[in-house]
Amino acid sequence: MNATVSPLPRPAPSPEVTAIRRRGLSVGLATGLYGLSFGALATGSGLDVWQAMVLSAVLFSGGSQFAFVGVVAGGGSALGAVLAATLLGIRNMIYGVTLSGVLPRGGVRGALRSLLTIDESTATALSGTTPAAQRAGFWSAGIWVWVFWNLFSLIGALGGQFIADPRTWGLDGAAAAAFLALLWPRLRRRDAVAIAVAAAFVATITTPVLPAGLPVLAAAVVAVVAGLAGVQRSGA
C-alpha cells in the first residue's frame, strides 16, 4: 500500500519580508490618492473616462500621465503630449536595469514587472536588504499602487466630467502641483536637486517663447540626459 506524501509546508516569510509588504501597501495607498487629481484633470481637459483609465492602467506612470494631460490642457498637440510622456517614462527603463538581478525577465511575470516598474516599486524594492525582501517590496508596492491609482483615477475622472472649465477649479495647475508632490520626496540627494533645478530653469525660460507642450519636452530632455549620464558614471 503506497503511503501518501504530504507536501511540505511553505516556510513563513521573514520579518523583513512581512514588514516590506506592509510598507508597499501604505506606499500604494498614499500614491494612489494622487490619482484623484489626474482623473479629474484628464476628463476636465477633454478626455473621456475610458481614455483617462487606459492611460492609468496601461501607461501607469504618474509623472508621464500628468505630463501628457498637462500638455493637452495647455493647448499642446497630441504628438507633444506623447513625446513628453515618453521622455519622462525613460527613467523606468533605468529602474528595470537596476532591478534586473532580482526580478523575472521573461514570460507573464516579466511583462507584469515591466508594467509595475515605477518610482515607488523601485524605491520599496531597494529598501530591502535581501533578494527575497526586494522582490516582496517590488511586487507589493507595484501592485498596490496600480490598484489604488486606478481606483482613485476612476473616481476623479467621473467627477471631472462635470467640470466645464478646468481652470474654474484650478485644475490647470493640478498637473504641476501633483507632479511636484510626487517629485518632492525624491529630492534627497544633491544630484537630484541639481537636475530638478536645471529642468525647472529650462522650462521657465522656454515657456514664453515655445508653443504649449514644448517647454515640458525641453525640461524632460534635460532630466533624461542628466539621468543617463549619471548611470554611465556609476557604471564606469
pLDDT for 131 beyond 70: yes
Calculate helix-pair angle for 78-98, 119-126, nearest 10 degrees.
Answer: 10
Structure-model confidence comparison of residues 101 and 162, the more confident one: 101
Q: What is the reported pLDDT for 1? A: 47
Q: What is the pLDDT of residue 72?
A: 74
What is the model's pLDDT at position 163? 64
Smallest CA-to-CA distance from 22 within 181, 108, 128, 93 is with: 128
pTM of the predicted structure, to 2 decimals:
0.71
pLDDT digits (tens, 9 = 90+) for 72-105: 766 766 777 777 677 777 778 878 888 888 888 7
Residue bearing the bigger pLDDT, 170 or 71: 71
* pLDDT (0 to 100) of residue 132: 92
Q: Are 56 and 36 in contact (CB under 8 A)?
A: no
Domain that holds residue 35: 15-235
Higher-confidence residue of 129 and 10: namely 129
197, three cell numbers: 533645478
pLDDT computed for residue 148 by the predictor: 94
Report whether pLDDT(8) > 70: no
Residue 189 DSSP SS3: coil
pLDDT above 80: residue 2? no
Minimal CA–CA distance to 203: which of 193, 213, 194?
213
Whether 6 maps to a domain, the answer reads: no
- The answer to whether 92 and 116 are in contact (CB under 8 A) is no
Contact (Cβ atoms closer than 8 angstroms) between residue 39 and residue 158: yes
| Domain count within the chain | 1
pLDDT attached to residue 64: 79
CA-closest candidate to residue 224, choices 122, 124, 92: 92
Question: CB within 8 A of 195, min separation 6: which ones?
Answer: 222, 223, 226, 227
pLDDT at 5 over 60: no
| Alpha helices per DSSP H over the chain | 15-32, 35-44, 49-54, 62-73, 78-98, 107-116, 119-126, 131-160, 174-183, 190-206, 214-235
DSSP 169: G
In a domain, 7, yes or no: no
pLDDT, tens digit (0-9, with 9 covering 90-100), for 211-235: 555 565 666 666 666 655 554 454 4
Domain assignment present for 143: yes
Q: Is residue 180 part of a domain?
A: yes
pLDDT tens string 32-41: 888 888 888 8
Asked whether residue 166 is assigned to any structural domain, the reply reads yes
